[in-house]
Structure 1
């Protein structure tokens, strides 16, 4: 039988879009209330709900990033798992490297709007590998469309826009890669043509001298 705290985390996270940063943060930090909105809105909405916030990182808190700096127009949230003396901090997050992809990194304060502090005695539920692969699957919103992103409902415009943005970024990287390949091939062709031209000139020089 699933742990009651785990089920509470799943039920709470189900108010956020599956596979997104908000979905993951609400599971790891199960004290995060439902209905905080898009990631960039979490800090202000948390304050309005009476949650304590901070301008400096605290282990166990949720960091809220604004749009920009590699984050989408909806902002980004992650869970702070450690703090370093130089002001940087460790985070665990989802959808920084892709939808429903959990990753960890060291973050600095760039684009940080603030930190939502956990209630006294609250603990993080890490790791969530088994949770996301098993019980959390039941929390995925079903799509009424047979096509498109598996994590977006038909009317969830924000989710669809984020997926389109992710696809556009990937398409841009692919396009840049193709341009680099084409330029490389062009340079090889030019270099080969120059070598052949030199060979022709070298062979023609003795004939011209004999004539």
Structure 2
């Protein structure tokens, strides 16, 4: 009977072919070549498809990339000190640089025209007494140069230091040689005249508010 199965004259089921092969200790191909080929084809189909080859990217080339500044950029320090537009911001013992911003020298010459670009500083505004000129959280560019610290020659917004606090106020020279300190926010109603009775230091003049408004 086995020879008839092998010759193909008598059909055999897959289960019977496996039973013969197991009992005789031979491969299923010797019992039924057709089933052996079928099993081989099914096994090939059952193999997982190979993953397509992907190009490996060396990420080390992207690590620790330095910040690029143009060769002629003016690096302006960002100070941790705030300038209060309300009751005043307490001073640190010294100005602490927490970062820097790079500015184009062309933009500085066109928009700011400081006597010395190296004396520019960035601080943050705090409070709302100078709204709508600038508001809480705006980044302010301050010229700390000697010529910029003379409000008697030019009306403007200045960073003032008094009683160990920073203030940002508008300072206007008056006809009698005094300086009037005011807030731009009408609801603040800050009006004070500096006549020399109080120690007030002018830190610098605010020349640009980083909301696109030139001062």
Give the alignment's TM-score, normalised by structure 2.
Answer: 0.28
Give the alignment's TM-score, normalised by structure 1.
Answer: 0.29
If you compute each CA radius of gyration, which structure gives the higher value, 1 or 2?
A: 2
